[in-house]
Amino acid sequence: MEYRYLGNSGLRVSVFSFGNWLNSNTQESYEITRDAIKLCFENGVNFFDTAEIYGYGEAETQMGRAFKELGLKREEIVVSTKILRSGKGVNDTFLSRKHIMEAINAQLKRLQLDYVDVLFCHRPDYDTPLEETCRAMHSVIEQGKAFYWGTSEWTADRITKALEICEKLSLHKPIVEQPQYSMFVRSKFENEYRFLFQEYKYGTTIWSPLAGGLLTGKYNEGVIPDGSRYDQKVGTMGDSRSFLDASWNQYMGPDKIEKTTKVLKGLEAIAKDLGFTQAQLAQAWAIANKDVSTCILGFTRLSQVEENLKAIELYQKWTPEIEKRITEVLGNDPEAIMDWRTWAPLTNRRQLALSAKQ
């Protein structure tokens, strides 16, 4: 396992991490959570992520119960959770001081912990003054209930404003963003966040490296297999049917399916040449970018844990030639940002982040 610093901090996290997204409160789902945490920990994973909105606290409860049952030493794990919504009350949502302070107390109780290492603001709240959110997150850290705070799916502009407010008021600054990043979802991460990485050394805990499962290899023929995520009435992460349909049509709609399946089959061929699965190729591609502090993996079956963690082996063999082959198949490099001093495009941010390894 490789460990990277989480943003501009001294906290080191495993390059692959565990995401507790299960939405069921059954004994079976708990046992999968517990056993997956155990397997991950035994394979060097030290970062475990959840959120209050996952099952409205059930995911946190399962994770806390698993930590206790497994007897994991608190100092050896890094735990993060996220604040967004805890109920249907008018103040049970988003990033007011009231909700933040009440949410973290409830989250720690469910997790059976005295503190979390990282507390995320799960989505931006444009109705609450940003200074109020920054002051509340500072208070959480000052009270010892979290060590660091971060953002999730915020715009670069919103993050920059938060950093400026914290600098001006001498508050604890956010250090990390939790964004989506995959072979299919790249522009925001590689372009919009470019200067956050460059100027602030902002960290990232990316999610959905398999683009909602599309990069697993199951859908290369453009059809939905029985029992797969897109065949469910409700997805494994609580996705509604309408959400699943919209996600599928984004890539597999009538006007896109031919192009998408061609790309998927091209990736499958590269993976086979390298002796790995298509999913492992996609996950290794994600962590080959050094702007990724850790890549969150989710599991619905225990067999997926060791299979997905093997992507670290492919990452360790990563070369410019592998990157070039994938780039040619994807054909979706984000549009270059212009350097007006030289009237020439800036080097692609991913290429700069890859060079740190190569």
Q: What pLDDT score was predicted for residue 226?
A: 85
Quote the tokens at residue 248. Answer: 């599928």
User: pLDDT by residue (tens digit) across 324-352?
Assistant: 999 999 999 999 999 999 999 999 999 99
Percent of the chain with pLDDT over 70: 96
Rounded to whole angstroms, the Cα distance separating 137 from 150 reads 9
Mean pLDDT throughout 63-90? 96
Residue 202 contacts residue 176 (beta carbons within 8 Å): yes
**CB 185: neighbour CB atoms within 10 A?**
17
- Return the residue matching tokens 């953002």: 151
User: pLDDT by residue (tens digit) across 136-193?
Assistant: 999 999 999 999 999 999 999 999 999 999 999 999 999 999 999 999 999 999 999 9
Q: Which of 30, 54, 181, 251 is catalytic?
A: 54
User: pLDDT by residue (tens digit) across 281-291?
Assistant: 999 999 999 99
Rounded to whole angstroms, the Cα distance separating 34 from 69 reads 8
Rounded to whole angstroms, the Cα distance separating 247 from 61 reads 29
Percent of the chain with pLDDT over 90: 84
Residue 111 contacts residue 63 (beta carbons within 8 Å): yes
Rounded to whole angstroms, the Cα distance separating 217 from 261 reads 10
**CB 324: neighbour CB atoms within 10 A?**
10
1-178 CATH fold: TIM Barrel (3.20.20)
Quote the tokens at residue 23. Answer: 């939405």
More confident residue, 160 or 240: 160
- Return the residue matching tokens 């608190």: 74
Q: How confident is the model at residue 26 (pLDDT cuts 50, 70, 90)?
A: confident
Task: Judge whether residue 231 has pLDDT over 90.
Answer: no
Cα distances (Å, whole numbers) of residue 286 to 184, 214, 279, 339? 11, 15, 11, 26
Q: What pLDDT score was predicted for residue 24?
A: 64
Q: What pLDDT score was predicted for residue 197?
A: 97
User: pLDDT by residue (tens digit) across 104-125?
Assistant: 999 999 999 999 999 999 999 9
Quote the mean pLDDT of the chain.
94
3-state secondary structure at position 339: strand
Mean pLDDT throughout 230-241? 63
Beta strands in 263-313 (DSSP E): 294-297
Name residue 85's beta-bridge partners: 93
Q: Catalytic: 54? A: yes
Q: What pLDDT score was predicted for residue 300?
A: 82
**CB 171: neighbour CB atoms within 10 A?**
21
Task: Judge whether residue 25 has pLDDT over 80.
Answer: no
Task: Judge whether residue 2 has pLDDT over 80.
Answer: yes
Hey, what amino acid is at 76? Answer: E
Task: Judge whether residue 260 has pLDDT over 90.
Answer: yes
3-state secondary structure at position 177: strand
* Distance in Å from the first CA to the final CA of the chain: 18
- Provide the 8-state DSSP code for 85: B
Map out the domains of the chain as residue ranges: 1-178
Rounded to whole angstroms, the Cα distance separating 232 from 236 reads 8
